[in-house]
Chains A and B, each alone.
Chain A
Amino acid sequence: MGITQIISGKLKKRKKKNSWLATVICFLMAFIICLPLLMIPGGAFADSSEIRQMLSPVLGEAKGYVDWHIIPFYPTLEHFYRLLVASPAFYKLFWNTVGMTAAILVGQLLVGLPSAWAFAAFQFRGRDFLFGLYVILMLLPFQVMLLPQYIVLQKFELYGNPAAVILPAVFSTFPVFIMYRGFTQIDSEILEAARLDGAGEMQIFLRIGLPLGQMGIRAAMVLSFLEYWNLVEQPMAFLEEQKDWPLSLYLPQLDIAQAGFAFAVSVVVLIPALFVFALGQDALEEGITYIGMKE
């Protein structure tokens, strides 16, 4: 055995050892990150008195740390029964959220798709400046846009109306950015060939753009869904009446005495998001890679 082979063998062993260590660290971190998620089912099925006992250090009723039971000692369906059978307010807000999210996604498709296609398929004067403006708007946090949005909504007499949440979201630049990235993956020669074959711009958009850019569209929709399904700040700022609230504002209304109920709400609220995530997981992964792409 030559010296080169010995060194190569040792390097392989070290690499294998490092890989194993990295895996352990990753699993540990993943566990810590997922811990709140693991606590939710436990809390949802736990008896109210057990939850209070577990949270007593947080409430200042006992010393030490919270001793959370992932599997409750006294499991009960009491909170789910109350939530699903005796809480019409929950359903009202659930359907508000469904409607609001659906309206936003449809709106984003109607508004964002043409914009993204225009940025991706056409070269026009001021395109780069306009796109740069989109990116800047995308980067601005909501808190910065709160006052201008409020003024605009007041001017249009939309404050307090669900449209005050839906319309700003419809005109959000983030999905345009994602969809634009998806459309840029289409080879320009394909578009040129279609034009040479006599296809109109609408035909090219519908027949080539949408099918080939669907991963970007789906990624944008999944990301938008996850964002607007859990929308908190905009409804809180722009909606006055409780009947217009989304579900995300329901949880803050529940106090510590209803902690078990709140966990049950969290479980039910998670279900649509999990479905959407599972349905768009592949597109989402690709969409995330689009975000990291260079122009």
Chain B
Amino acid sequence: MESKKKLWRGLAAFMAVMLIMTFVSRMVYVSRLPRIHWTNPTAASITNKLSAEGTVEVVNSEAITGMEGLLVKRVCVAAGEQIDAGTVLYEVDTEDLQVQLARLEAEEQVWQEQVSAKRREAATEITRAQEDYDTTVAELDRKIADETRLLEDAMEDLDTHMFRLPKEDAPDEIWIAWADERTRIDREIEERKLAIEEAGFEKEKVLKEAGRDIEDAKSAQNEVEGAYSSNYSAIGQVQERQNKIETWKSILEDEGRIKAEQEGTVLEVMMQSGVRMGADAVMRYANAESSRIFRTIISQEQKSMVHTGDTVRISFPGSSEEVGETIDSIVQENGSYTVTIWLEPDVAKGRTEGIMELTSTSEIYDFVVPKQALHNDGGNYVYVLEERSGILGMELSVRSLTVRLLNENDDNAAIADELLTNDMKIVTQSDKELSNGMAVMEY
């Protein structure tokens, strides 16, 4: 009997535990249920507001080249700043400038001295060659004159000898002596003629050699001059150095200040204090006549909202300026689209960035739901709230419904599907991730 009581107590305890655990499991189950908000799809239009950040670019902007080799002491302007002619753009270190200028002038002086020495040497060579030429020619002329005089003497001797022709009956000895004399005189005349001819040849030869020496000397001189006249890079370097010296001197006189030559807008500053400048541009600026364009990149989805010729509003950060402009071109590039808008000359002066905005309202769609109701997992779908009968009785559950996305903005999405109706309960918000068939609770 006692054991029966124990059994009854055991059974009662078991049932009590089951009752308690029924509540516990219910509580656990409910605590794990996602809590959701829902809404009915409504007929509405979608207002699309396209906003795209872009850049204002200056067409034909000008570059200010740095003073190569000089040390920047202070940059006096910033990008976007309006400048006038004479505005100080930056300052260079004058002490460093003096050192650099001295070095440059020393280089110039050395170069000048080297050129002068070479020129002097070439001129001496020419003079020497000319003197050698003149001396040689004089000697040969004298020699030819001497031989000519001797030839003339021989010719007179011959004439005189001919007058001394013996009589026909003169003895043979006289005739033989006369003939011998005649032969001697003829030989002397021939010798003198030959000497004169040789002297002429010698003179001609000497003249040629002396002329060559002169030419060589002149060539040497020309080379010295040509080394600077025909070598453009050398000329450029020298001129550059000389120009640099002139420029640096003027900068030094102006206490290291570099000033703008004309009015405009600083677009970009590529220099900083304490850095020695190179030959590259250190600033870019737009003058008053420069044109400006606004460029922005939009996505494939945004492309459907804008077309060439559409009027858009462009505002500029940090400014109250806002203009309405027309889209000039939309060009596809690497999967995105570049929108280009030419701005009026007096628009966006000093601006480097802008925001393009376009608002458009669509047709009225039958089913519009909040954007957060739309899910995407390769395809678009929404969760529809339904009642279902299960072991626990009637409970709320969600069913995924694949839909076509017709249009959307940041807040709403227009969807379509044959199964959609306006009395469907579309889940808009859940505190847990949902899946198809999941039981849920309403907030």
Contacts and interface: CB of A to CB of B under 8 A. Distances in A.
Interface stretch (A38-46, A48-56, A91-99, A230-238): A91-99
Interface residues of B, number: 22
Interface string A266-281: 0000011001101100
A241 B395 CA distance: 13
B389 A94 contact: no
Contacts of A89: 390-392
Contact of B392 (A85, A86, A94, A243): A243
A88 B29 contact: yes
Interface in A114-154: none
Contacts of B29: 86, 88
B14 interface: yes
Contact of B4 (A90, A243, A279): A279
Interface string B1-16: 0001001101100110
B21 interface: yes
A84 interface: yes
B288 interface: no
A88 B8 CA distance: 26
Contacts of A241: 389
A47 B8 CA distance: 33
A76 interface: no
Contacts of A276: 11
A203 interface: no
Given A242-B391, A243-B389, A243-B393, A91 B7 contact: no
The SS class assigned to the B binding surface is helix
Question: What interface size band does chain A fall in?
Answer: 20 to 34
A85 B22 contact: no
Nearest to B27: A88
A93 B390 CA distance: 11
A92 B392 contact: yes
A133 to B, nearest CB: 36
Contact of B25 (A86, A98, A242, A275): A86
Contacts of B392: 88-89, 92, 243
A245 interface: yes
A255 to B, nearest CB: 16
A88 B11 contact: no
Interface string A19-63: 000000000000000000000000000000000000000000000
Contacts of B15: 98, 272
A243 B390 contact: yes
Nearest to A87: B25
B391 A243 contact: yes
30 contacts: A84-B24, A85-B21, A85-B28, A86-B28, A86-B32, A87-B25, A88-B22, A88-B25, A88-B26, A88-B28, A88-B392, A90-B25, A91-B18, A91-B21, A91-B26, A93-B391, A95-B22, A242-B391, A243-B389, A243-B393, A245-B391, A272-B11, A272-B14, A272-B15, A275-B7, A275-B10, A275-B11, A275-B14, A276-B11, A279-B7
Interface of B: 4, 7-8, 10-11, 14-15, 18, 21-22, 24-26, 28-29, 32, 389-394
